Homo-oligomer: A and B are copies of this chain.
């Protein structure tokens, strides 16, 4: 198993990414290798300086950086030697089994669409966010930003993508799917959700439990919440801001702790032909470590094979 990691992505790269990679490596078995995309010589030196062993890792020379503000499509095409472009080149050629980066989100999305591509039958891949449940465990919210405008059929597919992910990666059996909406009743909602509801209801590949409201997001109401990428993104950023407030206020609590993206390290892109994880720009070593371990779990779960068989 080869886990691809962008060493140059994220606000605190390469130091945070290197420290995170060293910590992750300690938890991997001998046949699980982390492949580092970046400036090879510099990376090796930094690993050794940080107390790691540079021979524990594999390397791909990719000296260019796609900065946070760069236009994704332009950057991917004009910087073939960037860590993100190289990562996807290797992912496409199956020289790595997954790719993760805390760099430019748009470039990660475009890169995955251009290289490994959407799984045949999937209209539009989605970015899934892990949301903590009040009692324990995690749910999934998707889409959180890949598709600002969605059609009902897309949301119907997101429900399948999220369900397979929850079942295979989070071991939730028969995951409950909720449609994020503005009322409990079937007829409530906007044009998108009222058109999506009957599709979800008729979809025998999922366990649809009806509408979910904003207040249900952190409850046991559902395991998978589907919405358009605009709503999901606003919701996600609002939720994150609450977590930040509780941190600043010094409130310590298990539930709020689970809001910390560091615990799982990033957001998977679902619906593409390989495991891809987008890390938070401000990723710490802990976040990077967990993003690598999350990549491993995603590879091991073979959830992509399951998605493929459903859409086949």
A134 and B245 within 8 A (CB) = yes
A217 and B241 within 8 A (CB) = yes
CB contacts (< 8 Å) of A235 on chain B: these are: 214, 234-235, 238
Q: Give complex CA distance A237, B238 in Å.
A: 12
Q: Give complex CA distance A181, B231 in Å.
A: 9
A139 to chain B minimum Cβ distance, whole angstroms, is 13
| Size class of the contact patch on chain A | 35 or more
Q: Give complex CA distance A182, B239 in Å.
A: 14
Of A166-174, A248-256, A271-279, the one contacting chain B is A248-256
Closest to A217 in B: B238
Closest to A194 in B: B148
A291 to chain B minimum Cβ distance, whole angstroms, is 21
Q: Give complex CA distance A251, B246 in Å.
A: 9
A contact face: mostly helix, strand, loop, or mixed: helix
User: What per-residue 1/0 map shows which CB atoms of A226-247 lie under 8 Å from chain B?
Assistant: 0111110111111111101110
Q: Give complex CA distance A180, B241 in Å.
A: 15
Q: For the complex, is A41 an interface residue (Cβ under 8 Å from B)?
A: no
Q: Give complex CA distance A237, B218 in Å.
A: 12
B218 and A241 within 8 A (CB) = yes
A241 and B214 within 8 A (CB) = yes
Given contacts A182-B234, A213-B237, A234-B182, contact A190 B245 (CB under 8 A): no
Other than the given A189-B230, A190-B230, A249-B253, 10 more pairs (CB < 8 A) read A180-B234, A182-B234, A193-B230, A213-B234, A214-B233, A214-B238, A215-B238, A215-B244, A216-B241, A242-B242
